[in-house]
Amino acid sequence: MQHYDVIIIGGGPAGFQAALSARKSNPKVSIALIRKEKKALIPCGIPYVLHSLKSVDDDILPDEPLQKHKIDIIIGEVSRREDHTLQLSDKRQISFKKLVLATGSRPVFPSIPGVEKEGVFFVKKEYDYLIKLQGAARSSKNILVIGGGYIGVEIADELLRAGKHVTLIEMLPSLLATTMDPEFSSDLHAELENHGAKIILGCKVIQFTGKDQFDGADLDNGDHIEADMAILSVGYKPNLEIAVTFGLETEKNYGIIVDEYLRTSDPDILAAGDCALHKNSITGKASRVMLASTAMAQGRLVGSNLFRISFVKNFQGTLGSFATKVGNFSFGVSGLTELEAKELGIHYFTGEHDSVDRHPGKLPGATKIHIKLLFARYSHVLLGAQIRGGDSVGELVNMISVMIQKRMTDMEIDTIQIGTHPLLTSSPIAYPVINATSNAIEKWFHKTTEEL
- Residue 414: CA atoms inside 13 Å, Cβ hemisphere, count? 13
1, 94 in Cβ contact below 8 A? Answer: yes
Alpha helices, DSSP H, located in 57-181: 64-68, 127-139, 150-161
Which is closer to a copy of itself, CB of 344 or CB of 402?
402
CB of 424 to a copy of itself, least distance (A): 3
Which is closer to a copy of itself, CB of 218 or CB of 340?
340
Q: Contact letters (x/-) for a copy of itself, 400-429, by CB under 8 A?
A: -xxx-xx-x--xx-xxxxxxxxxxxx-xxx
Pairwise CA distance, residues 404 & 308, whole Å: 29
Q: Residue 308, SS3?
A: coil
Q: Which of 103, 239, 334, 350 binds a copy of itself (CB under 8 A)?
A: 334
Examine residue 363 and tell whether it contacts a copy of itself (CB under 8 A). yes
Q: Which of 125, 164, 359, 370 binds a copy of itself (CB under 8 A)?
A: 359
Q: Contact letters (x/-) for a copy of itself, 29-68, by CB under 8 A?
A: -------------x-xx-xx---xxx---xxxx---x---
Pairwise CA distance, residues 292 & 306, whole Å: 21
Pairwise CA distance, residues 49 & 354, whole Å: 34
Sign of the CA dihedral with 338 first, then 343, 346, and 349 last = positive
Q: Residue 388, SS3?
A: strand
Report 65-104 residues binding a copy of itself (CB under 8 A): 65
Examine residue 11 and tell whether it contacts a copy of itself (CB under 8 A). no
CB of 13 to a copy of itself, least distance (A): 6
Which is closer to a copy of itself, CB of 61 or CB of 243?
61
Which is closer to a copy of itself, CB of 208 or CB of 315?
315
Burial of 311 per CB tally in 10 Å (0-12, 13-18, 19+): exposed
Residue 9, beta-bridge partner list = 34, 101
Pairwise CA distance, residues 418 & 402, whole Å: 14
Pairwise CA distance, residues 307 & 415, whole Å: 43
CB of 19 to a copy of itself, least distance (A): 11
Report 279-308 residues binding a copy of itself (CB under 8 A): 281, 291-297, 300-301
Examine residue 330 and tell whether it contacts a copy of itself (CB under 8 A). yes
Q: Contact letters (x/-) for a copy of itself, 244-283, by CB under 8 A?
A: -------------------------------------x--
Pairwise CA distance, residues 55 & 441, whole Å: 50
Q: Which of 4, 6, 8, 16 binds a copy of itself (CB under 8 A)?
A: 16
Examine residue 452 and tell whether it contacts a copy of itself (CB under 8 A). no
CB of 380 to a copy of itself, least distance (A): 11
CB of 361 to a copy of itself, least distance (A): 9
Which is closer to a copy of itself, CB of 153 or CB of 256?
153
Pairwise CA distance, residues 342 & 182, whole Å: 13
CB of 381 to a copy of itself, least distance (A): 13
DSSP letters spanning 224-277: EEE-SEEEE---EEE--HHHHHTT--EETTTEE---TT-B-SSTTEEE-GGGB-
Which is closer to a copy of itself, CB of 249 or CB of 395?
395
Q: Candidates 88-96, 177-185, 188-196, 394-402 — which segment interacts with a copy of itself by CB under 8 A?
A: 394-402
Other Cβ atoms less than 10 A from the Cβ of 451: the count is: 8
Which is closer to a copy of itself, CB of 105 or CB of 392?
392
Phi and psi torsions of 167, nearest 5°: -115, 125
Which is closer to a copy of itself, CB of 200 or CB of 369?
369
Binding residues for a copy of itself, rule CB under 8 A, total 88
249, 228 in Cβ contact below 8 A? Answer: no
Which is closer to a copy of itself, CB of 38 or CB of 80?
38
Which is closer to a copy of itself, CB of 126 or CB of 266?
126
